[in-house]
Amino acid sequence: MVVFSAAGDADKPSDAMSSSEPTEEGDGGRKPPASPSPKHRAPSMPLRSSLNTQEQQEFPEVISLNVGGTYFTTRLSTLRRYEDTMLAAMFSGRHYIPRDAEGRYFIDRDGAFFGDILNFLREGELPHQDRVRAVHREAQYYAIGPLLDSLEDIQPLTGEKVRQAFLDLLPYYKDNLERIVEIAKLRAMQKKARFAKLKVCVYKEEMPITPYERPLFNSLRFERSDSEAKLFEHHCEVDVTFGPWEAVADVYDLLHCIVSDLAERGIAAEHQCIGVCDKHLINHYYCKRPIYEFKITWW
């Protein structure tokens, strides 16, 4: 991370981000839009004094940058295009920025996606879909609100929002995912095996619906009295249980989430339904929640 130094009084932190150079003709003559929402404002940055209170660093019109060893050249007005960003604060003239041996301004950050940042600042260009997630992380670091808003409205981030809205119905989801990983790792190590298997119950409904109740089941939630509900309470004999939830998304959607999230961590997972829980509940009714066997392969 770049270390800045304050030139203004300590009780005026907003001075570091208030300076914005007018857009030059070479940048298309566009004026920066209104400041982004507070959630995308540049984060508070530690400042150390190195410039006199009346001194302000001046920059050339063309800026040479060294971002983690990758070199870039751009206009000063491009870096200052949006006021409430880290880049605008850095090049406001009120902070010290270190230089490399060739005199380039140095930013201690991986430069692999900085070109995408510059392309957006220059002409609003968005990255290819396979770079969206990485560029979004960089936009968060540099606090570029307009870029964050634009990226969150396209795939794959839009899909992630929809997916997360479903997973928010299962507040224990991440803990259960960790439990799957820990159980599979422990079993594989104990058996000195390449893979491990475990049983996972995934069910959507709160409790089984009897044939007599089904005509009344016209919503996502079926209400029973407390005494009736207790007759159906039990825990299936499995390693991990997901459910119930109230949404259109079904069991297969949740299974897809589990497998894809494990894959994101480099863990190969397969699953197959091996039957249902046959726990007797009341009279001639049994649990019937589906049981899936997960196979976690470690190498």
pLDDT surpassing 50 at residue 242: yes
pLDDT at 251: 94
144 within 8 A of 123, measured Cβ to Cβ: no
What is the rounded CA–CA span in Å between residue 121 and residue 119? Answer: 5
Task: Report which secondary-structure segment, H or E, holds 89.
Answer: helix 86-90
Element (H, E) at 293: strand 290-297
Phi and psi, residue 297, nearest 5° = -100, 125
* pLDDT tens sequence across 126-177: 999 999 999 999 999 999 999 999 999 999 999 999 999 999 999 999 999 9
- Which fold, 62-154? Potassium Channel Kv1.1; Chain A (3.30.710)
Distance between CA 74 and CA 123 in Å, rounded? 13
- Numbered ranges of CATH 3.30.710.10 in the chain: 62-154
Asked if the bond preceding 244 is cis, omega within 30° of 0, the reply is yes
Q: Tokens 């950050």 identify what position?
A: 109
